[in-house]
Amino acid sequence: MLKLFMQTVLSGIQPTNKLHLGNYLGAIRQWVQLVNQGKARYIFMIADLHAMTVPHDPKALEQDTFALAAMYIALGLEPEKCILFVQSHNMDHPYLSWILETQTPYGWLTRMTQFKDKRQKLEKFEKTVGTGLFTYPVLMAADILLYDTDIVPVGQDQVQHVELTRDIARRFNKLYGPVFKLPKPQIDKIALRIKDLRNPTKKMSKSDETGKGVIFLTDDADTIMSKFKRAVTDTLGVVKYDPENQPGVSNLITILAGVTGMTVEQIQQEYQGKGYAQFKQDVAQAVIEFLRPVQERYKQYTKDRAYVVEVLQQGVQKARELSHKKLAQVKKAVGLFEA
C-alpha cells in the first residue's frame, strides 16, 4: 500500500540531453532534501514519449533513458522515498491523453507558443513536423492529472502547458463531474540564477547547441577546468557580486557558493585583491570536487544495469497503483463500457 501524503509533486524530464550543474544546484538538490523530509509524495518521470515529438535517434533514446535514471539515483533520489519511472512503461498515460484530446478544443492547442517555436525550427531544417508535437501538451496534461498532482516544478517555458492542464481539468470536471485536481506550476527561482559560462545573460541550459558554457554532470575534470578558464568575466578585475554590471563574475560567485556553502560575502572577502584567473581556477576545482562523488556513483549504477532496471520496475508499479485508480474514474465518467 502507498503511504498517504498531504501533497503530490510531479516532475518530468526528457532523456534528450544530459543534466547540467544548473539542474543540480537549482532544482534536483532541493528535491533530494524535500524527498528525504517525506512531507509530500514525489514522482519523477523520465518522459521518453515526449522525446519522440521531434525526430530522434532510437538507439540514443534508449541509452539516454537508462543514463538519466542512473543519474537520478546517483544524485540521491532514493527509490524507497520517491517514485521514479519511465513514462512509456505506464500505458495509462497515452490512454488518458487520448480521452483528454477528445475533450480539448483545437483552438487551445494552436495558442501554445512552444509548438510554434519548435515547428519553425523543424521547418527551417526541412524536417517533418509530427502531429505529436501539436498534441504533446495534452499528453503532459495526462501525465500530471493521472496522479492528482498538486505541484509541478517547471521552467518558465512550460508554465503555459501547466495552465492548459488546469483549463483541461476544469472543462472535464464541468462536463463530467469532479474527477481531476487543479495542479499549480512552481518556478524554481534559484534555478534561474545559474547562468551560461560563455553568455552569463542567459541561464545554463541543456538545449545549448555548443555546450561550451554548460557544465554537464558527466564532464571530466579537464573539461570542467577548460570551460571555467574560458568563462566570460569583465575588465574590472574585482570579484564582486553585481549581476547587473558584472554578470559573469556574479555567476561564478553563485556557483562557488552553491558547491561550497560559502556566503557571497565570504567569497568576496576571500578573493579581495586577487585576479580572475585564480578565481576561475578555484571555482572549477571546487565544482570538480563537488561532482566527484556524484560521478563515482553514476559510474557504479551505469555498470549495474540490473539494479537500475529493478528500481524502474518497482517505480512503475507504484505509479500504476495510483494511475489505474484515476483512469478508472475517468473511464466511468465519460461512459466507457466495462465488460
Residue by residue, pLDDT tens for the chain (339 residues) are: 455 668 999 999 899 768 999 989 888 888 898 899 988 999 999 999 999 988 889 999 999 999 999 999 999 999 999 999 999 999 999 999 999 999 999 999 988 887 777 777 767 766 767 888 889 999 999 999 999 999 998 877 788 999 999 999 999 999 999 999 999 998 755 545 789 999 999 988 877 667 899 999 999 999 999 999 999 999 999 999 999 999 999 999 999 999 999 999 999 999 999 999 999 999 999 999 999 999 999 999 999 999 999 999 999 999 999 999 999 999 999 999 988
Please check whether residues 176 and 27 belong to one and the same domain: yes
18 found inside a domain: yes
Burial (0-12, 13-18, 19+ Cβ within 10 Å), 277: exposed
Under the phi-then-psi rule, with left for phi > 0, alpha for psi from -120 to 50, and beta for the rest, what region is 126?
left
Measured CA to CA, the distance from residue 112 to residue 172 in angstroms comes to 19
Residues making up the chain, counted from first to last:
339
Please check whether residues 22 and 131 belong to one and the same domain: yes
Q: E-strand spans in the chain?
A: 8-13, 41-46, 83-86, 151-154, 184-187
Please check whether residues 48 and 160 belong to one and the same domain: yes
The residues pairing with 151 across neighbouring beta strands, listed in sequence order, are 9, 184
Measured CA to CA, the distance from residue 130 to residue 251 in angstroms comes to 38
What's residue 235's pLDDT?
A: 94
Residue with cell 505506464: 90
Active site residues: 118, 203, 206
Q: How many domains are there within the chain?
A: 2
What's residue 45's pLDDT?
A: 97
What's residue 34's pLDDT?
A: 87
Measured CA to CA, the distance from residue 213 to residue 164 in angstroms comes to 33
What's residue 3's pLDDT?
A: 59
What's residue 193's pLDDT?
A: 77
339 found inside a domain: no
Please check whether residues 243 and 179 belong to one and the same domain: no
Please check whether residues 291 and 313 belong to one and the same domain: no
Measured CA to CA, the distance from residue 105 to residue 120 in angstroms comes to 23
2 found inside a domain: no
What's residue 47's pLDDT?
A: 96
Helices of type H across 88-177: 92-101, 106-110, 113-124, 131-145, 159-176
| pTM of the model as a whole | 0.89
> What domain range is 315 assigned to?
8-192+305-334
Please check whether residues 37 and 182 belong to one and the same domain: yes
3 found inside a domain: no
For residue 42, how far is the Cα from the chain centroid? 13
CATH number at 239 reads 1.10.240.10
What's residue 55's pLDDT?
A: 85
Please check whether residues 157 and 138 belong to one and the same domain: yes
Of 75, 20, 16, nearest to 44 (Cα)? 75
115 found inside a domain: yes
Please check whether residues 38 and 145 belong to one and the same domain: yes
